[in-house]
Amino acid sequence: MGEMQVPADAYYGASTQRAVLNFPISGEPMPRRFIRALGMVKRAAAQTNRELGLLPRRRARAITAAAQEIIDGKHDDQFPIDIYQTGSGTSTNTNANEVIANRATEIIGGERGSKLVHPNDHVNLGQSSNDVIPTAIQLAAAMAIQDELIPALERLERALEAKSKEFWPVIKTGRTHLQDATPIRLGQEFKGYAGQVEESIRRARGAIDELARVPLGGTAVGTGLNSHPLYARSVAARLAKASRIPVKESPNHFHAQATLDVLVAAHGALRTIGTSLWKIGSDIRLMGTGPIAGLGELRLAETQPGSSIMPGKVNPVIVESMLMVIARVYGNDTTVAVCGQAGSLFELNVMMPVAGAAILESITLLAAATRNFSERCVEGLQATDRGPELVERSPMLATALTPVIGYDEAAKLAKESMRTGRSIRQLARARGVTEKQLNKVLDLGKMTKPGLEGPGGGG
């Protein structure tokens, strides 16, 4: 394609520079986590090719050392290509090959640009962009979930479990349809939130299992042309050891690189995790409304002034921050789904780079927002007296009287309580229900446990 001027101090070559000029789109290069994973693939490939007798020892060691520098982040400025580029990520794979080849050439005493270590013949040996790029994306995403998201979720689960125990004595009005329902312990609500996060951790681990089956070894179209039969299995074993992810060669290469089904499924787990966090954050925000005109059942930590005009106002900004992150995750989920649906054409998906960037952004944002939510919101929550005060005035306590006076009469009491403001206890006493019966059926603690003595179901 003719000559191409490349910066004198660059490790990349003409192909990378041409891609830089071809894709002046966002100014955002591929994420650091992806570049790190790509370096890990190149390192494992060089070691495997040496083991299989396909690459001379000296070159293999130099490629391994250069790839390690990529992993360590020493050459991040040498990966300038935009996210919105070649749909297969070929430009970035070529970029990595050029950088590693030139650096490896230097390591063995050659001159940069001399191709003593060749980017295609040596660094890319046994590989194609079509199997390397999706492998690096899946590895990067699995490692990010393992190293960032799961620890953040585990911290949140511990914080919610601790608050569940702390708040267990607090009995308040339950709510369904945003209307008063039978009593519940504040600790039981937080136990539910902790359960959501426990399930989120399970789903995150399931996403890792999805991502761990990589397409490496399929080369161009899944047939494995120009790749040693033992190559993919050996590289996968090396990647598993280095990453602590159970990386395995996909049993079906034709599926693995022709689609992004794995990313779509894994990001679906992230979407579900985000939805759980949305519910938890929204409930806490609602219970903290006030301090005078809202529910006021929780006191949220004061993190910053909430208004430039209203002195003393404090807002639930940590929850708001997390909800905005989840909104972004929902957008990324649509991006990944569209990439999987519209980018899969015959033997190759051609929307891989943006799908990879989207899933990595979602993982990083969810992990950071979850950590922040734990530290700056959940761990500092305090229960107020508002919940216990309101539960005694709740008309829904009439439900507990159903076994004593029947559903219709209990409904009349509830309506009268709402109309007059008198408590259910007062109205029932006036109807002739004995104090002994009232103390038995209106025992709030009993009403938060299973049993036949209390009320029946409801909506």
Report, as residue numbers or ranges, the catalytic residues.
177, 307
Residue 69 contacts residue 9 (beta carbons within 8 Å): no
Residue 296 contacts residue 290 (beta carbons within 8 Å): yes
* Angle CA 369–370–372, to nearest 5: 65
Buried b / exposed e along 139-150 (16+ C-beta atoms within 10 A)? bbbbbbbbebbb
Q: Residues with Cβ < 8 Å from 121, sequence gap 6 or more?
A: none
Q: Taking the mean position of all CA atoms in its chain, how far away is CA 404? A: 50
Q: Give the count of beta carbons closer than 10 Å to the beta carbon of residue 435.
A: 10
- Detail the DSSP E strand segments found in 126-271: 171-176, 179-185, 213-214, 248-249
What is the distance between the alpha carbons of residues 300 and 329, in angstroms, rounded to a whole number? 25
DSSP-derived 3-state class of residue 53: coil
Residue tagged 């409904």 (tokens) = 411
Count, in order, helices (H) and strands (E) of the chain. Answer: 17, 8
Residue tagged 């709740």 (tokens) = 394
What is the distance between the alpha carbons of residues 1 and 186, in angstroms, rounded to a whole number? 69
For residue 374, give the nearest of 143, 124, 159 by alpha carbon: 159
- 352, two tokens: 């891989």
Residue 219 contacts residue 45 (beta carbons within 8 Å): no
* 114 φ, ψ (degrees, to nearest 5): -80, -15
* Angle CA 162–166–172, to nearest 5: 125
Q: Give the count of beta carbons closer than 10 Å to the beta carbon of residue 363.
A: 30
* 295 φ, ψ (degrees, to nearest 5): -70, -45
